Chain A
Amino acid sequence: MPPGFTALDVWYLLPELVLTGGALLVLGADLLIARERQGVLSWLAIAVLGATLVALLPLAHAEATAARGLLAVDGFGFFFKIVFLGSAAMTILMSSRFLSVEGARAGEYYFLILCATLGMMFMASGIDLVTIFIGLETMAVSFYILTGYLKPNRRSNEAAVKYFVLGAFSLGILLYGMSILYGLTGTTQLRPIMAALATQPFGPALALAVILVVAGIGFKIAAVPFHMWAPDVYEGAPTPVTAFLSVGSKAASFAMLLRIFIEGLAVFHAEWSPVFWLLAVLTMTVGNLAALTQSNIKRMLAYSSVAHAGYLLIGVVTATTRGITAMLVYIAVYAFMQLGAFVVVVALRQKDTIGDELKDLTGLYARSPLAAVAMLLFMLSLGGIPPTAGFMGKLWLFSAAIESGYVWLAVIGVVNSAISLYYYVRVVVFMWIKEDTAPVALRLGPAMALALVVAIVGTIALGTYPAPLFEFAESSARALGLSQVALAVP
C-alpha cells in the first residue's frame, strides 16, 4: 500500500478499483472469446458496471475525503457516479448490434467505454485540480479513440481528428487557468484554494484564471461560443458514442465545473456569475436556433444538447442549493431522455441504411410502435412538456432562477423551450404524421428494447412522481454545500 494510504482509503476507492479491474478483464476476455461470440462481451461489461455499483452503494451516505485529500467521497459524487454508471450501461445496451452492423471489434470498444466512465468518476469526486485533470484526460482520450472507432468511415475519422485537436487545445487552456490558480495560492487542492483566495481581492490574475477555466470547461460542456466542434463530432462519431458523449461527458464536465466553482471559487460568486449568465443565454439561444434548421437527427440532437447545457448553466448562475439541486435533477432527467432518443437513432441503423436523417423516421409508428411511442415521449420530454421528466427538470431550473431573482434568465429559458418544441415536434411529424409508402418492420432486439423500456419508464416515472429524485438530488446538492461550510471554518 502506498505511504499515507489506509484500508479506509481502499474502501472509499473500491468502486474505482473494481471498475479498473473490470475494464482490464473485458480487454483480456476479448482475446479469449471468438469474434462471432463477442456479443457476450457487452453483458460482461454491464456486469462490471453492476459490480462497481455494488461497491458504490455502501458509500451513499459517506461524507469524507480520501487519498490524502485528493478525493471527496460524498453525496454529490455519489449522485454523479450513479448517472455515469447508468449511462454507460445504456450505451453498452445500444452498442452491441450497432457494432456488428458496422463490423467493428467489440473488445476495445467496451474497454474504452469503461475507461471513460472511470475518468468521469474521478472528475466527479476529485477535489484537487490535478486529480480532476487526470480524470478529465482519462475520459477525453477514451473519447478521442471512440469517436474515430469506425476506421473505414471517413466521417468518423474526420470527427476524431477534429475532436482531438480542439480537445487538446482546450485542455491546454484549462490547464493554464489551473496553473494560475496554483500560482496564486500555492496549492492544487480546491478547499485550501478557496481558503487562500478568501483573503485576496479579485485581481487580474484571478480574473484570467477564471476566464481560462471557464473556456476550458465551456469546451467540454459545449457551451456557446466553445461549441463549434459538437455538431461535427456528434454527427461523425459512432451513434452510441455520441449518446455517451452527450450525456456522460457533459454530466462529468458539469460535475467538475461545480466542484471547481462551488468548492474552490464560491467566494467570488458575484464576479463569475455574470460570465455564466451570458454563457447560459448564448448557449440556450444559439443552440436552439441552430437546431431549428437541421435535417440530420444527430446534428439536431447535437445542437439540442448544446441548448440543454445552456439550461443547466442557469443552475450555475444561481449557485444556490436549489439551483444545484435543479442541475442534478436535470442531469438525471436529461440522461434518460437523451439516451433514449439515441437508442431510437441507433435502431434506425440497418445493414443498408445509415438512418440518421430526419426522413429516415418517416412512418416510424407503423414500423415500430414501441420506438415511435418512445421517441414521442423523449421529444416531448426534451421540449419540457408534462407529464414527462423534462418538464420537472425545467420546472426546477426555472424556479431556481426566479427564486434567486434572475427572472429574465427564466423568461429567456422559457421562450427558448417554446422555440425548441418546434424542432422536437418536427421529429414527431415525421414519425407519426408522414406515412411511409412501404413500411418495413424495424426490429429492435432484446438489448435495445430493454434500453428503450428503461428510458421510457424513467421519463414517465420522473415526470409523474419525481419526489424520490428530488429528495436524492437535494441531499446530494447539500453535500456539496456541506463541504463548503466545512471549509469556511478552517
Chain B
Amino acid sequence: MDNAANFPLLSLILFTPLVGAIVLLFVSKSSGNLIRLLANVFTFAGFLVSLPLWFWYDSTSADWQFVERMPWIQSIGAEYFLGVDGFSCLLILLATLMGFLAVLSSWTAITERVKEYYIFLLLLQTGMIGAFVSLDFLLFFLFWEVMLVPMYFLIGIWGSDRRLYSAIKFFLYTLVGSVVMLLGILALYFYGYEQTGVYSFDVTRFHEMNLPVSLQIWIFLAFFLGFAIKVPMFPFHTWLPDAHTDAPTAGSVILAAVLLKMGTYGFIRFSLPILPDGTRYFVPMIVVLSIIGIIYGALVAMAQRDWKRLVAYSSVSHMALVMLGMFALTPVGIMGSIVQQLNHGISTGALFLLVGVVYERRHTREIAQYGGLSKVMPMYATVFLIMTMSSIGLPTLNGFIGEILILQGVFVVSKLWAAAAASGIVLGAAYMLWLYQRTMFGKVDNPKNEHLPDLNMRELATFVPLIALAIWIGLYPSPILNRLETSVEKVVARVNANYPQNASVVAPVGPGEGD
C-alpha cells in the first residue's frame, strides 16, 4: 500500500490505451498485422497495469483509494481528481479485461480499415476507464461523452445490415440522456456554490451535502434520464437491440460488458448517495419499470429469431434485475446488484463473443440456420454450455451468486418484487436453454454447418479467462464481496440510513479471508 500512495496508478491505467491509440496513428495503414499486434499489446498492458487494483486495494478502509488530485480548470473549480472504491475497482478490472478480450477477438474478424478500428477501440477503452475513475463531475462527464463517438463509428463502419440507423439511434439516445444529465450536474454545482461559496465539481463533497428534497427530485430526474438510457431501462431500451445486433462482435462485447454498466455505476455512485430523498421518492417508479423490464425483456428474447438480438434482449432483462436489486436499497440488494453487474459483463460478454465466432464462419445470425453444432464444434458447444449456465444462474457458477443476493435483498423489502424477479429468472432459463437446444442439439441439417472448424487457440484463449472467472465467482465470491463491503455500506448509510446497520452484510465472510 505504501508505494500506492505516490504512484499515479489510475492515470497509468487510464492513459495506456490512449497512448496505444496515438502510437497506432503513426503506423502505416498497410501493415495490418503490426497494427493488430500493437493493439493487443497495449490492451494487454492496460489489463496488466490494472491488476494492482486487485492486490493493493485495502478492503478494510472506507476511504477513496489511489487518489490523484490536481487543479485542471481553476476558474470554475474543476479538478483532475481520480480515486476508486471497491465498486469502481472491480468495474475497471472488468473493463480492462473485456477490452483486451474484445481486441483479441477481432484479429481475423476485422479486415477493412483495421487501423481506425483499433484506434476507436482504444479510445473507447480510455473513455470507459475514465468514467469509472473520475471523482470530478466535469471530468466524469467528459469521459462519459468521449465513449460516444468511437462506439458510434464501431457500429456505423464495421457493423452489419442497418448499421447506420443503429449507430445514429445509439448516438442520439445516449446524447439526449447525457445532455439532460449535464443540466443536473450544473444544478448541483450552483447549489453547492450557494451553500459553501466555493465553485467545485468534487463528487465527494456532494456525497456529504444535504439537498432540499424538491431540488433532489429534479436532479434525480435529470440524472435518471442519462443513466436509465444507458442501462437501458424499459422504456428507454429500444436503441440497445439495434445497436447490439448491428455492432461488430467486439463492439457488442464492450457495449454489453462495460458500457451498460455506466448507467448502473452512475446510479450507485451519484444518484443514490447524493440524492437519497430523490432516490426514495422514485423507488416505486423504478421498481415498476424494472419488473416490466425483467419480464418484458425475457419474453421478447424468447420470440427472437436472431441469435444476437436474443442475447441483446436478455441483457435488457438482466440489467432490469440489477436495477431492482439496487433499488431495494438494502446492503445485500446493492451488493447483489454489483456482483450481478460483473456477472452480466462476464457471461453476456462471453455470449456475444460466442455469437461472433459462428458469425465469422457463417455470416448469419439467424438461429434457424444452425442446429447440431455440438457435433461439429464440440469445444465450442462446451464453452457455450458453461456460459449459458452462468447466464441463467446455475449454482456453482457466477450468475447464481448475484441472483441469490439480489433475491435476498429484495425479499426483505417486498415478497411481491422478489416473486417478479424470480419469474424473470425462470423465463431466462427457458429462452437460454431453448436457444442452446436449437443451435447445439439435433441433427446437422444445414450442409453449410457440416465442416465448421471448432475454436482455434486464439478464440479459446478469449474464453478461458471468462470461464475461470465464472467458476471462481461461483465457488468463492468472498474476495469480491469483501472489496465491496465498505463501499456498499457507505451508500446504504446515505440512502437508507434507517436500515439496521449490521456489519454482516454477507454472512460467511470473516475478516482477512479475502485474499
Contact = CB atoms under 8 A, between A and B. Distances in A.
A95 B73 CA distance: 36
Contact of B145 (A385, A402, A411, A415): A385
Nearest to A470: B75
A418 B179 contact: yes
B182 interface: yes
Contact of B157 (A407, A422, A432): A432
Interface in A411-433: 411, 414-415, 417-418, 421-422, 425, 429, 432-433
Q: Interface of chain A, helix or strand or loop or mixed? A: helix
B455 interface: no
Contact of A414 (B76, B145, B148, B183): B183
A391 B141 CA distance: 11
B171 interface: yes
B75 A414 contact: no
Interface in A387-446: 387, 391, 395-396, 398-399, 402-403, 407, 410-411, 414-415, 417-418, 421-422, 425, 429, 432-433
A467 B190 contact: no
Given A402-B183, A410-B183, A414-B180, A386 B146 contact: yes
A474 interface: yes
B119 to A, nearest CB: 10
A154 to B, nearest CB: 36
B172 A422 contact: yes
Contacts of A271: none
Interface range, B side: 20 to 34
A33 to B, nearest CB: 40
B141 A470 contact: no
A50 interface: no
Contact of A418 (B72, B152, B176): B176
Interface range, A side: 20 to 34
A417 B183 contact: no
A251 B370 CA distance: 63
B75 A471 contact: yes
Contacts of A387: 142, 145-146
A19 interface: no
Contact of A467 (B72, B168, B176): B72
B149 A380 contact: yes
A421 B116 CA distance: 22
Nearest to A396: B76
B75 A398 contact: no
Contacts of B172: 418, 421-422
Given A398-B186, A414-B180, A391 B145 contact: yes
Interface string A371-385: 000000000100001
Given A403-B190, A414-B182, A467-B72, A432 B153 contact: yes
B164 interface: yes
Given A385-B175, A425-B171, 17 more contacts: A385-B149, A386-B142, A386-B146, A387-B146, A391-B142, A398-B186, A399-B189, A403-B190, A407-B183, A407-B187, A414-B179, A414-B183, A425-B152, A465-B73, A467-B73, A467-B74, A470-B75
Interface of B: 71-76, 116, 138, 141-142, 145-146, 148-149, 152-153, 156-157, 164, 168, 171-172, 175-176, 179-180, 182-183, 186-187, 189-190
Q: Give 9 nearest A-B pairs by CB, closest first.
A: A386-B142, A470-B75, A414-B179, A467-B73, A386-B145, A433-B156, A402-B186, A418-B176, A399-B186
23 contacts: A385-B148, A385-B175, A386-B145, A399-B76, A399-B190, A402-B190, A407-B183, A414-B179, A414-B183, A418-B179, A421-B171, A421-B172, A421-B175, A425-B152, A432-B156, A433-B156, A433-B157, A465-B73, A466-B73, A467-B72, A467-B73, A467-B75, A470-B75
